[in-house]
Structure formats: structure tokens, C-alpha cells
Amino acid sequence: MNEIFSKYRPGLHDRILHYDSFIPFLDNSDNSDNSDNSDNKGIKINPLYFEDLISEGEKALEKEYRILPASTYMQFKRDGNRSVYESLYFERRRMVVSLLLAESAERKGRFTDKLIDGIWLLLEESTWVIPAHNQSKPNQNSSLTYAYASDVDYIDLFSAETGSLLAWVYYIARDFLDNDSPIICDRILYELNRRIVNPYMKNDDQWWMGFIGNLLNNWTPWIISNVLTVCALCIRDTELRIKMTDRAMIILDNFTHFYHSDGGCDEGPGYWGVAGASYFDCAELLFDLSGGYVDIFGNDLLRNMGEYIAKVNIEGDRFLNFADCAARVIPSYHMIVRYGRKCNSKMLESFGSSYIYHNKFKPSFSFYNTIYRNIKNLCEPEPEYSEYIATEKIWFDGICVMVKRETPKGFYLAAKGGHNGESHNHNDVGSFIIYYNGRPLFIDVGVGTYSADTFNSNRWKIWTMQSAYHNLPTINGCMQEPGKQFKASDILYNDDDGSLSMSLADAYPKNSNILYYNRKCELTNREVKITDNISAGTDKSDGQGSGKIIFNLISVYPPDVSKPGNLRFNINNDECIAEYNTELTPYIDIINLTDKKISSGWGSEVLYRTRLETDSDFSKGTFILTVKHP
């Protein structure tokens, strides 16, 4: 139980700042004096970024806002496609952000009319909830929303983001928008109250709030960070500011109630940016709203939640992509530096600053998601460089993930236990990932473009979710199945050598006829070794099972199987060999990638699945996969 904010709630009433006393980014050393930047009310964007911001605004001037047809909204319900509507929806918002920041930097009025056009389009949208998240009552099964009713009862991720965007528009641009028409900002406040504040304060039934005791995920801190932005920048009623803040703290404590102390994100690094990182955004917002009274930056869980992202980095933009995570991830490194500085984590400070230095990385200029974070990044000086040295051994005992690496170069091994009921889960208990010199050898494919099937009962028909397309065996014709009951047991992490062993028998259904199955993953003496001890019954009297085991291995590079017992890989002129039991027969499947999200992540139009198969009369045996560099 991690109720971090509960101790602050009793004294909150006298600590929440009145609207006119509020200063965003209070911890910035030069933000206490607004005299030289009164137009922006404390938002002091680093002049180093002005040229880029104006350039992004000029690109937006050349574009046309596109309509959002009702038929495109309905497409999700009809055929499961969510990307067509979302591409139009998000492009509008990116244009508004670009125009807002460009005008804020230039202050000549050049971007104002196009900005007003975008603001008005957002205000005129029937709903800010995307079709994939349409859960408004009473017509939950409708392909359209009933949001024309007097009250909106539901907030999703992107309605909250839209609210936050318009809150920043109101806060930064109010003066020059009022010169054109005060109606614009009045309408912003009206819609924020109707679409964000009212459903947030009145409807406890929204699952992401956690009032029914359910497990929560990234939706909670992601939405709360945006609701708090609306509260901070637009709510003048002090009592309402207090109530909104207090409610946020309760909901955030619901989020961490089941969070393990190791800070591990079971949703993977692809969602960390809107899970642990959004929780940090909330901590910063609450600090500012309370004038520094709500200060959790010394909390161990908060620090551990941040250090997770450094610990699961492989190299560059390659991260340990278990769960719904793409092959490449680029988190907000400027925020990571700040996270480390405020939580006293040298690991995070050096991890973030090292990436920024070596990649000449700049803050995001036009991405509207996590806009609070992006604007704050623009207001900070460039961080000082600090060399980052990756940790050799890591163990997250909460999410059952281990990492062992050779430094500074060499093999990288990661493996997971856990269960198949995690948020954004793939059926992958016991799977492993191996890299060599920062290059992928045996991989987790990741996740493709989202559709309706990604989050309904058809999820497990998608090949990227199935255990047969992870580095796992298919046993007697059976793959792993979804649900918490399909899990690893007898988990043993050896802190001395960084190895992980576990039983995987319970990860498979009963008709796999597994008697026992133990897997050990280790990296020692410059070799990775995966040892499987398996016994599976071959009684076919019930018509189940084929008495056969197929060990599946997924790779980016094609294996050479010309030598028995060897898979040879040429990885950018580095050769790696994977030795396996010679009684296994290798077969190679070429996986043609039709999803651009997957193919672009791996830089290839194909992947390879190696199937190492036993004879059909298999009963028990020990199988060792040894991966080495000759």
C-alpha cells in the first residue's frame, strides 16, 4: 500500500494558492519574478528554442485544418479502424500547439488568426473523446456519442489532453485573444467546465479513478496530470481548486495502492512516459498548486518509478519492450534530467543528459500529448552533461523482470516471469530478449497499430500477442493463455550472478500435459544460456496434444542453419552463434511485416521465426540454448 499523498490532505485547505498567486514551474529559479515576461505570466521559454518554435508554426500556417466526419468516427464501431479518425484528430491539436508556441515566441500576431481557427474547431467538436474510448452513457453501444446532452459524464485520455491544451491556450494567449474577441476565452472556460471539471468532480464511476478498488494503469496519472493543469491555469474559484486538488490526491493514491516498491512499470517502457512520468508531472503540478507544500520528491517510490526507464534501456532508443511497446522509444529526456534532479537520482540525471548530449536532442516543439511537460522542458536551460554508466544487474521483484548486461559492450539479456493478466499484457511469461553490442538478436516483436481487436476478446488472435511469436515453446500444440492464473511460479533470482529461474508449467493450459517445466536464464563467462527442463505427458487418449515441443525464437536477422546444432547470425558484421540440442530439427518461418509500426521499428520488412522441434514422441528432456560470440 503506497498512499503517498494522504498525509498532505488535512492541511490542504490553507495551502492551495489563489489563482492570482499561482506561478507555474515554481521550482525554476528565475520564475519568482515575472516582471520581464508579464505577457506570458511566468512562462519563460528558453530563447534558444525560439527559432525552432517559429519554424514549426510556419509549417502549421501552410497546412489546412481537415474536417472530422461523423462517418469516420463511426468507422471504429463498423470495422475496428481507429487510426483514420485519430490521425485527423491529433493533427488538429499538433497544429494548435505549434501556432500557440510560435506566437508566444514571436509576438507579432502572424499566427493568431490560424490559431483562432484551430481553437474554434476544437471547441465546436461534438466530443473530445476518441471513438475507441467512447463509453458515454446511456448509449455505450452507439457508434456516435451523445455528448450533445447537457452534461458530459466521461473523460478519456485525449479529452483530458484536449482540455489541458485549451487551458494552456487560455493561460498563455488570453491577452491577445481577448483583443480579437473575449468570446473565445469565455467559450474555452465554458467547455472546460462542461467537458472536464463537471465529469471529473461528479462521476465516480469512471474506472480510471479507482473508487471501486480495481487495479489502475497509465490512464490515471495521465488524465490527472491534465485535469490538474486545467485546475491550475483556469479555475479561479479557490474552493473548487482545493476540491479538485484533494480529489486528485485521492485518485493518485488509488493508482499507487497496488504499485510495487521497485517502481517497475508492468505496462512496459512504451507506456512509462504516461504512467510513471505522468505521475511525476502530477507531483510537479501539486507542488506548484500548493506553493511547495505538497512535496513528495524525496519519496523512494517516486524515485524508483523514474529510475525504471533508465534501467530498462538497452542502448540508444532501444528499450526492453515487454508488453505493448514498440521496438524504439524516445522518452522525454529533458524531463528525465529534471526528474533525477528533483528526486536526487544521479542515475536519471546522467541517463537523460547523456542522451541529450550525444544525440543533440531538443525538447518536443509540436507534440501536444503531455503538453504541460513539453512546455516546462522549453522553459529550462540545457542540462549539463554527465556520463551515464548502465547498471550491470537489475531485478524488479514486483514485475519479475531481470536484466544482466556486459559493459561497456557485449551481450544483454533480459527475461520476465509475472503472469498473463498484466496491463497491456502479451502471453509471454518466461520469455527473454538477447542483444549483442546494442543490436537485436532474439527479440520481442512489440505491438502493431492499434485497432478494435487490440483491446477486445480478439486480442489473443493477434500474432504479436501469442506466445508462439515470443521466445517460448509451444508444448503439445498448446500456447500460453491469457489471465492471471497463467503465471510463473517458484521464481528464484540469484543476486550473485544475476540469473533467473522459474517454473513455467502454470503458464500453459492443462491440456498441454506438462508435468514440470523449469527455465533458467543466465549470462556468465560472455555467454547467454537458456536451460529448459521439461517433462510433458504424451497420452493422447483424450484427443489432446501431439507429444511434441516446438521452441520458438524470433529474430531480425536471418539464421544460417547449415550446421547441425547451430544458428549463425551476421549482425552488422558481428557473428553470433546460438548452439542448441542436435536432436532438435530447425525450421525457418519468414514473417512478412504488413504493419508499418512494426517494420519501421525494426528497420526491416521481415522477421524470422526459428522453430526447433522435437520428435512427436517427446516425454522429457533438458534443452540448452547457448548464445555466444566466437
Cα distance between residue 200 and residue 523, in whole Å: 49
Write the burial class of residue 546 (CB in 10 Å: 0-12 exposed, 13-18 middle, 19+ buried): middle
Cα distance between residue 293 and residue 316, in whole Å: 37
Write the burial class of residue 140 (CB in 10 Å: 0-12 exposed, 13-18 middle, 19+ buried): exposed
Q: What residues contact 15, with CB distance under 8 A and at least 6 apart?
A: 290, 291, 293, 294
Task: Summarize pLDDT for 80-89 with one digit per residue, the tens.
Answer: 899 999 999 9
Q: At residue 272, does pLDDT exceed 60?
A: yes
- Residue 145: half-sphere exposure toward Cβ, Cα within 13 Å: 25
Q: At residue 30, does pLDDT exceed 90?
A: no
Look at residue 26 in the predicted model and tell me its pLDDT: 83
Task: Summarize pLDDT for 153-191 with one digit per residue, the tens.
Answer: 899 999 999 999 999 999 999 999 999 899 999 999 999
The domain 393-628 is classified under which CATH number: 2.60.40.1080, 1.10.760.10, 2.70.98.70, 2.60.40.420? 2.70.98.70
Own/partner pairs, 51-54, CB within 8 angstroms, 24+ separation: 52/362, 52/365, 53/98, 53/101, 53/102, 53/104, 53/105, 53/365, 53/378, 54/102, 54/105, 54/106
Q: At residue 31, does pLDDT exceed 60?
A: no
Average pLDDT value over all residues in the chain? 93
Task: Summarize pLDDT for 446-463 with one digit per residue, the tens.
Answer: 999 999 899 899 999 999
Judge contact between 155 and 222, C-beta under 8 A.
no
DSSP, collapsed to helix, strand or coil, labels residue 429 as: coil
Q: At residue 518, does pLDDT exceed 90?
A: yes
Judge contact between 409 and 437, C-beta under 8 A.
yes
**Type of residue numbered 518:** N
Look at residue 350 in the predicted model and tell me its pLDDT: 98
Look at residue 539 in the predicted model and tell me its pLDDT: 54
Q: At residue 142, does pLDDT exceed 80?
A: no
CA geometry: angle 278, 281, 283, nearest 5 deg: 115
Look at residue 273 in the predicted model and tell me its pLDDT: 96
The helix (H) or strand (E) run that includes residue 123 is: helix 112-124
Q: What residues contact 627, with CB distance under 8 A and at least 6 apart?
A: 411, 434, 441, 442, 527, 528, 529, 530, 576, 577, 578, 579
DSSP 29-40: TT-S--TT-GGG
Confidence of residue 219 (pLDDT cuts 50, 70, 90): very high
Judge contact between 420 and 482, C-beta under 8 A.
yes
Look at residue 214 in the predicted model and tell me its pLDDT: 86
DSSP state, residue 512: G
- Mean pLDDT of the 572-595 span: 95
Q: Which residue has the higher pLDDT, 34 or 470?
A: 470
Retrieve residue 54's grid coordinates: 517559429
Task: Summarize pLDDT for 370-412 with one digit per residue, the tens.
Answer: 999 999 999 999 999 999 999 999 999 999 999 999 988 999 9
- Mean pLDDT of the 249-273 span: 94
Cα distance between residue 73 and residue 441, in whole Å: 41
Look at residue 406 in the predicted model and tell me its pLDDT: 96
Identify whether 558 is preceded by a cis peptide bond (ω within 30 of 0).
no
Cα distance between residue 566 and residue 550, in whole Å: 16
Q: At residue 37, does pLDDT exceed 50?
A: no
- Residue 17: half-sphere exposure toward Cβ, Cα within 13 Å: 21
Handedness of CA 190, 192, 197, 203 (dihedral sign): positive
Cα distance between residue 488 and residue 36, in whole Å: 59
Judge contact between 282 and 373, C-beta under 8 A.
no
Domain boundaries, the chain: 1-38+208-390, 45-203, 393-628
Retrieve residue 7's grid coordinates: 498525509
Look at residue 1 in the predicted model and tell me its pLDDT: 60
Cα distance between residue 325 and residue 444, in whole Å: 9
Place of cell 497496488: 258
Task: Summarize pLDDT for 313-365 with one digit per residue, the tens.
Answer: 999 999 999 999 998 999 999 999 999 999 999 999 999 999 999 999 999 88
Retrieve residue 13's grid coordinates: 485547505
Retrieve residue 252's grid coordinates: 493518485
Q: At residue 36, does pLDDT exceed 60?
A: no
Q: At residue 38, does pLDDT exceed 50?
A: no
Structurally, at CATH architecture level, domain 1-38+208-390 sits in Alpha/alpha barrel (1.50)
Look at residue 368 in the predicted model and tell me its pLDDT: 79
Look at residue 508 in the predicted model and tell me its pLDDT: 98
Cα distance between residue 16 and residue 238, in whole Å: 8
Look at residue 135 in the predicted model and tell me its pLDDT: 78
CA geometry: angle 26, 29, 33, nearest 5 deg: 75
Cα distance between residue 582 and residue 565, in whole Å: 5
Cα distance between residue 500 and residue 481, in whole Å: 22
